[in-house]
Amino acid sequence: MPIEASSADPRPRRALRLAFGSAACLAASYGLALPISFLPPLLTLLLLAARNQPLPLKACLALALLAALTTGGGLLLIPLLRYYPASGVLLVALCLFLCFHHGLYGGNPLVSTFLIIGLTLVSATGSRDVAAALAVIEALVMGLLLTGFAVALGHGVFPEPGGLAAPPAKPLPTPEEAAWIALRATLVVIPAFLLALIDPASYVPLVMKSVGLGQQVCSTSARDAGRELLGSTLLGGLLAIVFWWALGLFPHLWMFCLWMLLFILLVARRLYRVTATRQTPGFWLNTAATLIILLGQSVQDSAAGKDVYTALAVRMGLFVAVALYACAAVYLIDRRRWRPRSAA
């Protein structure tokens, strides 16, 4: 039964919707044992944060088909990466630049995101095993179908209040600004992509993290890069450690879902400014995304009999290294960008 939208302020309802939809999708994804189980709740989180309106059924099916087509483009790069790796990496870098530029300059951000995932995850896994690349595409399509259901459920339980004015459109950057921002986002993603070419199975979470950082640096200045990129990564890792300890008190799928509901709600209240905070929404969104990625890998480590905390520490070290590199890339690119003007 939907909860009536009686308040004029939509932010508390949006925070509840984000937490409920992400937790429900996580319960379904792990309950159904979907491949790359952390991917559907991650996509649900990003989609609910990006849109305040529900997706129609046709749009959900079209989104899954679009994901299959866009990520399938990564299959075309597999022969080049196998037999001409240097040329293949340069072509991937050029395509990443064009994808980020498309998203910045008025393009559909969802299409850009799927293209980026296809270029990185699909091509990297396919460079070793084509069947693994097809499995990634299958996981993404299945995850998007589940994501569409979770988004619809979230909006059904916590509908958007009626009579709200449409948010103002974000101003587009100039072509020169879009080119510089797309360049630094591309430089953030490429190192994780190179590591994934060496060992795709081990570095899939790192690629997803670098894609998220690449999206985040599109709206981050050099002055705020350390706090935005590194701070949110560290906070996400700390929350993952606390979460895993709490889950160990009573390890069960439903407790996993309930703890996720609580943790995402705490972050969502700050993302939507229900609770006062000095950090930007991008900071809190990246914190929640880091939490979901780390927990997803911890579940896999636990199932494989590995020491979860040791693996989490190693993975967190890689995440911090990528975040530090992203901060350096933002600083150096912005410094290079403004040097001719200041000299003039």
Tens of pLDDT, residues 8-37: 788 899 999 999 999 999 999 999 988 888
203/169 Cα distance (integer angstroms): 36
Task: For the beta carbon of residue 45, count every other beta carbon within 10 angstroms.
Answer: 26
At 27 the pLDDT is 94
**Top-confidence residue, 172 or 279:** 279
DSSP state of 159: P
- pLDDT tens, position by position, 41-86: 998 998 898 888 887 777 777 777 877 777 777 788 888 888 888 8
Q: How many CB atoms lie within 10 A of CB 135?
A: 16
The span from the CA of 15 to the CA of 5, in Å, is 13
The Cα–Cα gap between 134 and 126 comes to 8
Q: Cβ–Cβ contacts within 10 Å for residue 187, how many? A: 21
How would residue 226 be classed by pLDDT, with cut points 50, 70 and 90?
A: low
* DSSP assignment string, 192-242: HHHHHHH-HHHHHHHHHHHHHHHHHHTT--TTTHIIIIIIHHHHHHHHHHH
How far apart are the C-alpha atoms of 18 and 41, rounded to whole Å? 10
Confidence bin at 165 (pLDDT 50/70/90)? low
Which residue's entry shows tokens 């039964």? Answer: 1
Question: Cβ distance 184 to 330 under 8 Å?
Answer: yes
Rg value, the chain, Cα: 20
User: Burial code of 281-292, b = ≥16 C-beta within 10 A, e = fewer?
Assistant: ebbbbbbbbbbb
Q: Whole-number mean pLDDT of the chain?
A: 82
Q: Between 81 and 225, whose confidence is greater? A: 81
pLDDT of 41 reads 93
Nearest Cα neighbor of 117 from 148, 101, 140, 150 is: 140
- State residue 23's pLDDT score: 95
For residue range 238-277, list pLDDT tens digits in order: 999 999 999 999 989 999 999 999 999 999 999 999 998 8
CB neighbour list of residue 6: distance below 8 Å, 6 or more residues apart: none
163-168: Cβ within 8 A, 24+ apart: 164/10, 167/52
Distances in Å between the Cα of 164 and the Cα atoms of 153, 160, 198, 227 are 21, 9, 50, 33
Are the C-beta atoms of 62 and 46 separated by less than 8 Å? no
Q: How many residues does the chain have?
A: 344
Residue boundaries of the structural domains of the chain: 11-159+173-337
